[in-house]
């Protein structure tokens, strides 16, 4: 009886010790992020900002930019409304992608079109570590931008030294989008919050 109990406890202990974590933390110096184990860090040379990123297991590239000129995609949130001429100018691939989205093709872009019904992205406010961020997701799954934008990590607009952060991926599969959003919520800003 004691041997059986010992074997059961030993096998449980061994299986617990051998289980590998599904996640890992990547240290980008100014912040850390916890991502799935099979994602890998990449380095990208930035001109006037700190740029880097992550490659997912599906080979999607997720890029961050920390600097004075980091972009806010919500400021350029385009509507998927096309007149016949602009629709005809789209590539075959763009037209294939559009088939899966809520979009509108009209004779002329005038009149009573509610462009807000056809926006490419949506966003909500989300606390990321000690900052409020815009959490951006595509209106149409797998078509658009997923990521965050933080308007000011430090500095001020008045002094023209405001440091911003963006971290985006494009046209992510639904599973990757969910994993990326989960990862973004784990960001810890070592330089700015702690």
- The answer to whether the beta carbons of residues 114 and 128 sit under 8 Å apart is no
Delimit the CATH 3.40.1000 region(s) of the chain: 23-76+120-189
Instruction: Give pTM, 2 decimals.
Output: 0.80
Fold of the domain spanning 23-76+120-189: Protein Transport Mog1p; Chain A (3.40.1000)
Residue 83 has pLDDT above 70, yes or no: yes
CA distances from 56 to 15, 30, 175 (A): 28, 21, 11
Q: Which tens digits make up the pLDDT trace of 102-155?
A: 888 888 887 788 888 888 899 999 999 999 999 999 998 888 899 999 998 876
Find all residues with CB under 8 Å of 126, minimum gap 6, and list them. Answer: 132, 133, 134, 135, 148, 185
């Amino acid at each position: 009886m004691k041997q059986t109990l010992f074997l059961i406890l030993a096998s449980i202990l061994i299986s617990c010790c051998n289980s590998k974590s599904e996640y890992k933390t990547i240290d980008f110096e100014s912040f850390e992020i916890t991502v799935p184990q099979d994602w890998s860090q990449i380095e990208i040379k930035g001109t006037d900002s700190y740029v880097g990123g992550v490659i997912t297991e599906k080979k999607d590239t997720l890029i961050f930019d920390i600097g004075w000129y980091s972009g806010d995609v919500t400021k350029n949130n385009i509507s998927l409304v096309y007149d016949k001429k602009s629709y005809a100018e789209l590539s075959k691939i763009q037209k294939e992608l559009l088939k899966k989205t809520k979009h509108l093709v009209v004779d002329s872009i005038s009149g009573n079109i509610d462009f807000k019904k056809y926006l490419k992205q949506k966003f909500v406010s989300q606390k990321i570590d000690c900052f409020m961020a815009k959490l951006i997701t595509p209106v149409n799954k797998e078509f658009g931008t997923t990521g965050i934008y933080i308007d000011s990590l430090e500095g001020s607009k008045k002094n023209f030294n405001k440091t911003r952060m963006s971290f985006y991926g494009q046209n992510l599969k639904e599973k990757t989008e969910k994993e990326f959003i989960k990862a973004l919520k784990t960001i810890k800003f070592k330089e700015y919050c702690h």
